[in-house]
Amino acid sequence: MAPDDAMPDLDARRARARAMGGAAKLAARRARGLLDARERIDRFVDPGSFVESGMHATSIVAGDRERTPADGKIAGYGRVDGREVAVVSNDFTVLGASSSAVNGRKIAQMKRVATQRGLPLVFFGESSGARMPDTMGARGMGTMLGNDPTQYQRMRETPWAAAVLGYCYGSSTWYTCCSDFAVMRKGAVMAVSSPLLVAQATSEAIDPEALGGWKLHAETTGQIDLAVDTDEEALAAVRRFLSYMPAHAGEAPPRAAVPEGSGADMATVASLLPASRTQVYDVRKIIRAIVDRDSFFELKARFGKVATIGLARLAGGVVGIVANNPLFKGGALDVDACEKITGFLVLCDSFNIPIVMLVDTPGFAIGMEAERRRAPGKIMNFMNALSLCTVPKLSVILRKSYGQAYLNMGGGRNSDEVAAWPTAEVSFMDPHFAVRIVHGHQPGTPEFAAALAEMERDSSVYDIAGIYAVQTVIRPEETRDYLARMLETHRMRPTGGVGQHLMRAWPTSF
Amino acid sequence: MANIEARSEVNGSVWKLLVEPGAAVEAGDTLMLIESMKMEIPVIVEDGGRVVAILVKEGDAVAEGQVVAELEG
């Protein structure tokens, strides 16, 4: 084609690709308050920074080429806070963003470049699953699906983040579950298969929200970290998550300036602890007082609520917070909390983020339900993950630390430093229960009182500091400065702040 | 009509009722305290509203997940 014709031809082809599935479909989305696939990228990356890869890719099926701009999945490179990221955004207006031979190659390219060059990888999920009828039949399966044995391999070379922004079935669901962070817009659905297919296959009426809505995943499955109301909030959440992450596992996470007013609430932090040891409190108030102002980014807040996890900054450096939250069930660790903490320890260790544990737990929740849900195995996964962490680990015992949970929360040299508030009590179990189990005495009797006094002996903070199982006893208001200093002391100097990543292939969902 | 159910998150016994039917409550307020594992475990409302009925009395045993109060939002 002559240059005079070739340039207008390219412009026309670009315009067709940008028109996606057509004006009518885009207008219908807009009317529902949803962003389209290209708008999502534009609003996510730094302005003007997106370079597309595969704009002229279309379906491999000759008859579908004209109706498959970008083959339904838009890919490319953008910048977030000035750092390069790779992005895949599903265009539902093109054949439901179904997975195909060609758009699979685009995703593979994004993954390959992100992994080899050290870029975070971001997925905006909204797709109907494998493209039909392309994948039907043995020949369809043999040629269209997969053909990339590393497609769903996860070795945590770089951070992955996913946003569930519409109906996600098949690969959009798989990539979300392979990611380190997942946010979901309320109203979106994430499931293995669509409600229509499930209803036909099982002959039961299916409510999409019950099958894969945000409440299910935020509260019951724990497969998402955060639920938000709008597309824009989801994009902002992914940006915020990435702000705590290094670009790849081979570097330390980025530092930030310490906001004014950080630490201002430390003077009164002790007042957040209730007067009686039988009363509960919300540990998140203590976390927010300790870390840099407004830096606490809680994850999985509605799942496994007896524990609180989240990313934060302390004196400008990124930390992962693991805390018991007595507000829920007194802070007794259940199976959901074990899974939540285990996954978070893997995340932090894989991306060189030091761990701060705030301890106040009566132990692991026991009972029939716990055993049925394999609590012993979950407790040991948690313990094993903690012992495989090579990033600095700091524990502060605020109040109770009992039994095996003492070890899981960093006691017994499972943290690099253990500090305790003067209110700390460490023992094998609550002395009230111990008296009944060891002596058989009932509360209210003189024998019980005498045995309780004996059982409570030697469980004070100075008894454990005396044998150096706790390295120091600090006033609550000293906690922020103490942790900031210990993070500096324990900075991984020989490796430039990079850990060993012994859990890099730990399952992302388990 | 009652459209919010408040549940106990633990097995235990009702130690102290803190609100009466008719009371207006806000998200995060505590309706009652359940004694469990030697701790005072609160029943907290997740969404604000008005208390329609308290379904337990002090001293009652409650099971995990049991509805202990009804509210309307």
The chain B residues in contact with chain A (CB within 8 A) are 9-11, 36-42, 44
Alpha-carbon gap, residue A42 to A78, rounded angstroms? 9
Res. A104: pLDDT tops 70: yes
CB A116 within 8 A of CB A123: no
Judge whether A435 is closer than 8 Å to chain B, CB to CB. no
**For residues A126-155, average pLDDT:** 84
User: Residue B66's domain is classified under what CATH number?
Assistant: 2.40.50.100
Q: Distance (Å) from the C-alpha of residue B39 to the closest C-alpha of chain A? A: 4
Judge whether A492 is closer than 8 Å to chain B, CB to CB. no
CB pairs under 8 A between A and B: 33
Instruction: Choose the most confident range, by mean pLDDT, from A142-156, A186-200, A382-396.
Output: A382-396
CB A402 within 8 A of CB A430: yes
**For residues A258-281, average pLDDT:** 94
Alpha-carbon gap, residue B49 to B51, rounded angstroms? 7
Residues of chain B found within 8 Å of residue A366, distances taken between Cβ atoms: none
CB within 8 Å: B38 and A278: yes
Alpha-carbon gap, residue A87 to A77, rounded angstroms? 6
Confidence of residue A355 (pLDDT cuts 50, 70, 90): very high
Taking only residues 324 to 383 of chain A, the set having a beta carbon closer than 8 angstroms to any beta carbon of chain B reads 326-330, 332, 362, 367
pLDDT at site B2: 62
CB within 8 Å: B39 and A328: no
CB A292 within 8 A of CB A314: yes
Alpha-carbon gap, residue B24 to A142, rounded angstroms? 63
Give A233's contacts (C-beta < 8 A, 6+ positions apart): A185
Lowest mean pLDDT among A149-153, A202-206, A278-282, A469-473: A202-206
- Residue from the list A329, A367, A433 with its beta carbon closest to the beta carbon of B41: A329
Which of these, A5, A15, A7, A65, lies nearest to A38 by C-alpha position?
A15
Res. A145: pLDDT tops 80: no
Judge whether A123 is closer than 8 Å to chain B, CB to CB. no
Judge whether A280 is closer than 8 Å to chain B, CB to CB. yes
Confidence of residue A149 (pLDDT cuts 50, 70, 90): confident
- On average, the pLDDT of chain A sits at 94
Task: Quickly tell me which residue has 């409570």 as its tokens.
Answer: A456
- Residue from the list B37, B40, B42 with its beta carbon closest to the beta carbon of A332: B37
Confidence of residue A271 (pLDDT cuts 50, 70, 90): very high
Judge whether A301 is closer than 8 Å to chain B, CB to CB. no
Pick the CATH number of A266-424+470-493 from 3.40.50.10810, 3.40.50.2300, 3.90.226.10, 1.10.10.10: 3.90.226.10
Res. B1: pLDDT tops 60: no
pLDDT at site A198: 80
Alpha-carbon gap, residue A484 to A463, rounded angstroms? 26
Confidence of residue A352 (pLDDT cuts 50, 70, 90): very high
Beta-strand pair A355-361/B30-36: unpaired
Q: Which among A215, A220, A277, A279 is the top mutation candidate for probing chain B, defined by the most B β-carbons within 10 Å of its own β-carbon?
A: A279
Bridge partner residues of B30 (DSSP): B44
**For residues A268-296, average pLDDT:** 95
Q: DSSP labels for A69-136?
A: GGGGEEEEEEEETTEEEEEEEE-TTTGGG-B-HHHHHHHHHHHHHHHHHT--EEEEEEE-SB-TTTT-
Q: Is A424 exposed, middle or buried (0-12, 13-18, 19+ CB in 10 A)?
A: buried
Q: Distance (Å) from the C-alpha of residue B2 to the closest C-alpha of chain A? A: 21
Pick the CATH number of A14-243 from 3.90.226.10, 3.40.120.10, 3.30.40.10, 3.90.1260.10: 3.90.226.10
Alpha-carbon gap, residue A272 to A285, rounded angstroms? 7
CB within 8 Å: A280 and B39: yes
Res. A435: pLDDT tops 90: no
- Residue from the list B9, B11, B37 with its beta carbon closest to the beta carbon of A328: B9
Q: What are phi and psi of A260, to 5 degrees?
A: -60, 140
Residues of chain A found within 8 Å of residue B41, distances taken between Cβ atoms: 280, 329-330
Domains A14-243 and A266-424+470-493 share a fold: yes
Number of H helices, E strands in chain A: 19, 16
Alpha-carbon gap, residue A483 to A410, rounded angstroms? 15
Q: Which among A277, A278, A430 is the top mutation candidate for probing chain B, defined by the most B β-carbons within 10 Å of its own β-carbon?
A: A278
Q: What are phi and psi of A175, to 5 degrees?
A: -65, -35
CB within 8 Å: B9 and A362: no
Domain ranges of chain A: 14-243, 266-424+470-493
> Which pair of tokens denotes residue A471?
């390295």
Q: Which residue did the predictor score with more confidence, A367 or A242? A: A242
CB within 8 Å: B38 and A328: no
CB B13 within 8 A of CB B62: yes
Tell me the pLDDT tens digit for each residue of A44-102: 999 999 999 999 999 999 899 999 999 999 999 999 999 999 999 999 999 999 999 99
Q: DSSP labels for B21-66?
A: TT-EE-TT-EEEEEEETTEEEEEE-SS-EEEEEE---TT-EE-TT-
Q: What's the helix, strand, coil split of chain A in %, to 5?
A: 40, 20, 40
- Residue from the list A330, A430, A432 with its beta carbon closest to the beta carbon of B41: A330
Q: Is A192 exposed, middle or buried (0-12, 13-18, 19+ CB in 10 A)?
A: middle
Residues of chain A found within 8 Å of residue B11, distances taken between Cβ atoms: 367
Q: What is the largest CA-CA distance in chain A?
A: 104
Q: What chain A residue is nearest to B11 in terms of C-alpha separation? A: A329
Lowest mean pLDDT among A10-19, A38-47, A232-241, A270-279: A270-279
CB within 8 Å: B37 and A330: yes
Q: What chain B residue is nearest to A332 in terms of C-alpha separation? A: B37
CB A51 within 8 A of CB A129: no
Which of these, A320, A273, A271, lies nearest to A295 by C-alpha position?
A320
Alpha-carbon gap, residue A423 to A221, rounded angstroms? 35
pLDDT at site A436: 85
Cβ atoms < 10 Å from Cβ of A256:
14
Tell me the pLDDT tens digit for each residue of A320-330: 999 999 999 99
Res. A274: pLDDT tops 70: yes
pLDDT at site A146: 66
Q: DSSP labels for A1-38?
A: --HHHHHHHHHHHHHHHHTTT-HHHHHHHHHTT---HH
Long-range CB contacts (within 8 A, 24+) of A26-35:
A26/A93, A29/A92, A29/A93, A33/A230, A33/A231, A34/A165, A34/A166, A34/A231, A35/A165, A35/A231, A35/A232
Res. A371: pLDDT tops 90: yes
**For residues B14-38, average pLDDT:** 92
pLDDT at site A202: 81
Alpha-carbon gap, residue A475 to A419, rounded angstroms? 10
User: Helix/strand/coil (H, E, C) string of A336-380?
Assistant: HHHHHHHHHHHHHHHCCCCEEEEEEECCECCCHHHHHCCHHHHHH
Q: Which residue did the predictor score with more confidence, A197 or A49? A: A49
CB within 8 Å: B42 and A327: yes
Q: Which residue did the predictor score with more confidence, A457 or A262? A: A262
| Helix (H), strand (E) at residue A145 | none
Residues of chain A found within 8 Å of residue B10, distances taken between Cβ atoms: 329-330
Through-space distance between the first and last CA atoms of chain A, rounded to whole angstroms: 55
Counting residues of chain A whose pLDDT is more than 90, the rounded percentage is 82
CB within 8 Å: B9 and A329: yes
- Total tally of structural domains belonging to chain B: 1
Domain that holds residue B28: 4-72
Counting residues of chain A whose pLDDT is more than 70, the rounded percentage is 100
CB within 8 Å: A433 and B38: yes
Tell me the pLDDT tens digit for each residue of A398-412: 999 999 999 999 999
CB within 8 Å: A362 and B37: yes
Tell me the pLDDT tens digit for each residue of A283-337: 999 999 999 999 999 999 999 999 999 999 999 999 999 999 999 999 999 999 9
Which of these, A16, A6, A1, lies nearest to A66 by C-alpha position?
A16
CB within 8 Å: A327 and B44: yes
